Structure 1
């Protein structure tokens, strides 16, 4: 059956194919693309337990990208998941203490975004050919630290594309910043903003829906798209690693086929945990998806009270990729909670835009049965890193520590003894200062590559090649913008003011 896509806010039932939705990224009405009907699947986990990551990815993605041929989809998958990963398993599952860790940091930028952003360029260029697109695609993206580098690494020098990334100047780690500002590729542009991620993301969404700007782009043979998880080409590849993780637990003899497990996910923009929700809808035996937050705990309050309220203090933490108060992908879940009602969804999103908050109805709250939510303080985050290394000699980054600590909160609160899989989203070398300070239990002034070397001496884990390459990489991107000037910056980069 063909999987078609619609907007979460459209009442006219307009639909698109998967390749058309990948190219467009965001819907014209400001909503997000969702399948008209969720794919029907009969996942054979006894078979999947014998499969490689690439084979599992194909079994999952063929359900969502139905207008791609088998040859096209397999070519995209094989190009995305190869030697650029330092572990042939791509996303191995390891056990430390009583918890399992799904390691999503073995790709070229040592963060989980690689699992989606290595394949997105291939899905997009294939979609452009299928739809006879002649315009050059301009990927417009806001990043809280990881998406930007992973997207640029995927799209660097890809023909007929440009990529423009905005990041909060003071809201990423030193290594994240160095990875971005040294990114090579004639088609890559990185701009720091004097603001936080929410300001960058909100402005990007506004620009993606700016009809006047779209006309200027069209006149110059450009078309916007996005590499954020608002794009289905970014979101649905993430479903594969939940399915793969469960299959690996069967293969390792840790669970029997059909036995339910829990996943604890460090959550900011809600794309990663939403992929787990889709995996459950496909039949993966998941009991609870545990939404783990840092001090910016807007999602914890949402799940526990039914009210989403971004009107609160914003904190810069040691887990910056989660320093988010507007979780864009939550709209997709809200759409399902309304019973797929585009009017109700649009009204709630309008409330968020105009008042900064919205509240679910009692019926909608009752429908949130797949999730449990908690958060940790900075001290609890640091303590989790310290304990896991002291007891099991397993170094984790601050985002993984949030998920690991909240997983234990859940187990203590519910006495649920099901196997727990912690989604490990980044290498400790991406946040060396925070990890170093946590393990030693003392603050450290070392940052950047100095902290990397000190952390290596302590944990004795090989430094990833992508971090080693930063030692001699020249800084290529120095632009800084105010959030209000992001549109002007884009016009200058694309030379939209010239006569055509």
Structure 2
């Protein structure tokens, strides 16, 4: 399996090289030359999560020795997950919630970022690279902590995370700024996530700076979903959820399902699309946005227009106006037309928008939720099912209800539940009629746990007294200087 750039398909590299590079030198994203098909899905039915992970990933990571890939999977999906199932499926009302938040940082990003450090170390070995790898990542909340957790104290790797200072929840921020590990560096940006993400991309594409790092024995890589090593592991849990429904006899053999994904950067729903292309019986991929409804507009009109104000919502991981992984989807559905993609991405950079006529997105349905609808959905699911969901999952649930009203489609539906409700205590508590005004975040969480009769996860309870270790802050234009300072590469070392 080779990987090619969405902006120049003559660039062709192995999976291990794609994992190391993260992003193509031409600014494009790496995609497989073809999406492999699964064998008979019924043959996967009795596999546990690790076995299934190997069955899926081995089709994409073909230059990894099978024993090495199995070792990466064993190290990733171990007792750091609080559920033996890794990704349990819980029924509440008419929907099935795929709980992707049982990892160490209580967010779905753990599902891929628990394995990425092991894949990267193996990739470095395969390619006999003797440079130190610098993971450079922008986060809208959850990726940052999950990446820091995965890469902390890993030999031969440093990790630098930029987050929007006022664009993450209080718990998300504390998770990052208290991160231990002498190879970790966390910086708050005076701006929004798009500023952080575009700043990181500019640094990746700055050949002078990349050459400076190279002379100082460093090489850049990424832990964002632009890295194929992030995207491929996410395919696994969609297969796992389907097989769980089969084992529970909630669906018949080969019965189609719908999948609802709350999305900002389009990575998680792209993984569901890959699963469908591999042969998972999917009827509709339901793309759920918050008030930053740029993807909803695009799916329904073919116009992608980022010339709008970014709205800060209670679902910060979706407060994004440039959905990077959409580029991969467009590359696939355009018949791998790299010139078309390059032109559209240039238009987005120069004009702030692009339009695609005769857009074929029949696999997708797109809608969005307002803040009021998010609160209503959290309250409704809790009142009717005694089940607590976070704001991102509530966006998905609300869009799922809109889809059913609009289409009268009663296909069994899996909702990707992407974070623990305790990461967003104020919004969740106020939604179920707990007075959160003028209260400390940790007191709110305690009240929430008491009312819902759920134990506060240790990873959050322990945050209250953890020391703040990262007090860095900068403007977008100063990001490169802070990286230079951390890596001590102000001058080229001969």
TM tier relative to shorter chain: over 0.9
The equivalent residue for 1:5 is 3
**For 2:279 and 2:210, how far apart are their aligned partners in 1?**
40
**For 2:253 and 2:437, how far apart are their aligned partners in 1?**
46
The equivalent residue for 2:89 is 93
Counterpart of 1:40 (choices 26, 37, 40) is: 37
**For 1:154 and 1:77, how far apart are their aligned partners in 2?**
13
**For 1:498 and 1:206, how far apart are their aligned partners in 2?**
20
Counterpart of 2:472 (choices 460, 479, 483) is: 479
1:177-188 correspondence to structure 2 within 5 Å: 177-188=173-184
Q: State the Cα distance separating 1:336 from its structure 2 match.
A: 1.6
2:121 pairs with 1:125: yes
Does the CA contact (< 8 Å) of 1:174 and 1:447 recur in 2?
no
Instruction: Between 204-213 and 45-54, report the one with greater CA deviation.
Output: 45-54
Structure 1 length-normalised TM: 0.97
Q: State the Cα distance separating 1:499 from its structure 2 match.
A: 4.6
Counterpart of 1:379 (choices 356, 359, 372) is: 372
Q: State the Cα distance separating 1:339 from its structure 2 match.
A: 1.4
**For 1:123 and 1:52, how far apart are their aligned partners in 2?**
20
2:19 pairs with 1:26: no
Aligned-partner SS, 1:284: coil
1:435-450 correspondence to structure 2 within 5 Å: 435-440=428-433, 444-450=437-443
Does the CA contact (< 8 Å) of 2:138 and 2:163 recur in 1?
yes
Q: State the Cα distance separating 1:190 from its structure 2 match.
A: 0.4
**For 1:40 and 1:283, how far apart are their aligned partners in 2?**
6
Counterpart of 1:412 (choices 405, 409, 412) is: 405
Counterpart of 1:340 (choices 336, 340, 349) is: 336
**For 2:439 and 2:227, how far apart are their aligned partners in 1?**
37
**For 1:462 and 1:82, how far apart are their aligned partners in 2?**
21
Residues 217-260 of structure 1, C-alpha deviations (whole Å, 9 max, x = no match)? 00100000000000000011000000101000001110112100
The equivalent residue for 2:455 is 462
Aligned-partner SS, 1:265: strand
The equivalent residue for 1:166 is 162
Does the CA contact (< 8 Å) of 2:212 and 2:492 recur in 1?
no
**For 1:466 and 1:441, how far apart are their aligned partners in 2?**
23
Aligned-partner SS, 2:8: coil
Does the CA contact (< 8 Å) of 1:388 and 1:394 recur in 2?
yes
Structure 2 length-normalised TM: 0.98
Residues 332-385 of structure 1, C-alpha deviations (whole Å, 9 max, x = no match)? 0111222111000000000000111001121xx1x2111000001000000000
Does the CA contact (< 8 Å) of 1:267 and 1:293 recur in 2?
yes
**For 2:466 and 2:71, how far apart are their aligned partners in 1?**
31
Q: State the Cα distance separating 1:443 from its structure 2 match.
A: 5.3
Q: State the Cα distance separating 1:450 from its structure 2 match.
A: 1.9
The ranges of structure 1 where at least 4 consecutive aligned residues each deviate by more than 2 angstroms after the TM superposition are 44-49, 441-448
Aligned-partner SS, 2:396: helix
Counterpart of 1:59 (choices 45, 50, 55) is: 55
Aligned-partner SS, 2:186: strand
Aligned-partner SS, 1:361: coil
1:29-428 correspondence to structure 2 within 5 Å: 29-42=26-39, 44-362=40-358, 365=359, 367-428=360-421
Does the CA contact (< 8 Å) of 1:385 and 1:398 recur in 2?
yes
Aligned-partner SS, 1:288: strand
| Structure 1 portions without partners, runs of 5+ | none
**For 2:97 and 2:442, how far apart are their aligned partners in 1?**
26
**For 2:201 and 2:441, how far apart are their aligned partners in 1?**
31
Residues 427-465 of structure 1, C-alpha deviations (whole Å, 9 max, x = no match)? 001101110000117553334222211211111111111
Aligned-partner SS, 2:260: strand
**For 1:284 and 1:305, how far apart are their aligned partners in 2?**
27
Q: State the Cα distance separating 1:46 from its structure 2 match.
A: 2.7
Does the CA contact (< 8 Å) of 1:433 and 1:447 recur in 2?
no
The equivalent residue for 1:15 is 12
**For 1:477 and 1:451, how far apart are their aligned partners in 2?**
25
Distance 1:81 1:129, change over 3 A: same
Aligned-partner SS, 1:195: coil
Does the CA contact (< 8 Å) of 1:230 and 1:329 recur in 2?
yes
RMSD across aligned positions (CA): 1.0
| Structure 2 portions without partners, runs of 5+ | none
Does the CA contact (< 8 Å) of 2:6 and 2:28 recur in 1?
yes
Aligned-partner SS, 2:299: helix
**For 1:309 and 1:143, how far apart are their aligned partners in 2?**
22
Aligned-partner SS, 1:63: coil
Aligned-partner SS, 1:431: helix
Does the CA contact (< 8 Å) of 1:48 and 1:244 recur in 2?
no
**For 1:287 and 1:203, how far apart are their aligned partners in 2?**
37
**For 2:462 and 2:2, how far apart are their aligned partners in 1?**
42
Residues 406-435 of structure 1, C-alpha deviations (whole Å, 9 max, x = no match)? 001111111111001110000001101110
